[in-house]
Copies of this chain bind each other. A is one copy, B any other.
Amino acid sequence: MTYADFMNAPKRRDRAATRSALLDAARRRFAEHGYDGTGVREIAADAGVDATLIFRYFGSKRHLFDEAANGEVPEGLGAPGAGPAELADALVREVVLGDAPAGGGEHPLLLMLRSAGRPEVRARLHEEVCDRYLADMADRFAGEDAALRAELVGALLLGMGVMRDVVGSPVLPGADPDRVRALVAAMVAALEAGGRPADPTGP
């Protein structure tokens, strides 16, 4: 069977496959154009089915978005006992360099970032970032202002994702991944060193 034959073949009726195709198309559309910039008809067209099926399978556009942003939040945080450098390195590979094992698309945090105009999306983003990533990162920093230093690491990683996927800067995709990881490690190490010895205004 040729590729054309495969494409022109009458599509099988498969509820699970159609649902999955809608979910994939929604992830791509939402990630690229945001929630408000994406219509249910466009998602359905990408999936090759009628838009009505979105409401039959997901209930509403918002439920589809929630499920699209939900299912792929990776668990893969670094080893529990490791330091911030190891965690940052794992996140660099996962968020920026795209070594995420599951799903070939964008990181769900960046997907939500594109739709942060909606208050409920922003609330989820806030909860996900602060309670999940930043709290875990802060636990690995010593010192009184661990939260601030964790915030800076998180800002660096989030900013790298934004640079690559939203701004579209060609630098990060074209750079040597090991070099990127080394530079990020140097920045995190500077935070681990504390910055306080170099800060003449410290108490």
The yes or no answer to A198 lying at the interface (CB within 8 A) is yes
In the bound assembly, the distance between CA atoms of A87 and B167 in angstroms comes to 21
When the two chains form their complex, are residues A147 and B171 in contact, meaning their CB atoms are under 8 A apart?
A: yes
Q: How many subunits of this chain does the assembly comprise? A: 2
The yes or no answer to A122 lying at the interface (CB within 8 A) is yes
The yes or no answer to A157 lying at the interface (CB within 8 A) is yes
Cross-interface CB contact of A148 among B116, B126, B171, B202, cutoff 8 Å = B171
The yes or no answer to A51 lying at the interface (CB within 8 A) is no
Task: Return chain B residues, CB-CB under 8 Å to A178.
Answer: 199, 201
In the bound assembly, the distance between CA atoms of A163 and B134 in angstroms comes to 11
The yes or no answer to A158 lying at the interface (CB within 8 A) is yes
When the two chains form their complex, are residues B179 and A190 in contact, meaning their CB atoms are under 8 A apart?
A: no
In the bound assembly, the distance between CA atoms of A134 and B186 in angstroms comes to 20
The yes or no answer to A151 lying at the interface (CB within 8 A) is yes
The yes or no answer to A125 lying at the interface (CB within 8 A) is yes
A-B contact pairs, 21 of them (CB 8 A): A32-B117, A33-B117, A36-B117, A113-B166, A116-B166, A122-B167, A126-B167, A126-B169, A130-B167, A148-B179, A148-B180, A148-B183, A155-B160, A156-B187, A158-B162, A158-B167, A162-B162, A179-B201, A182-B198, A187-B191, A189-B198
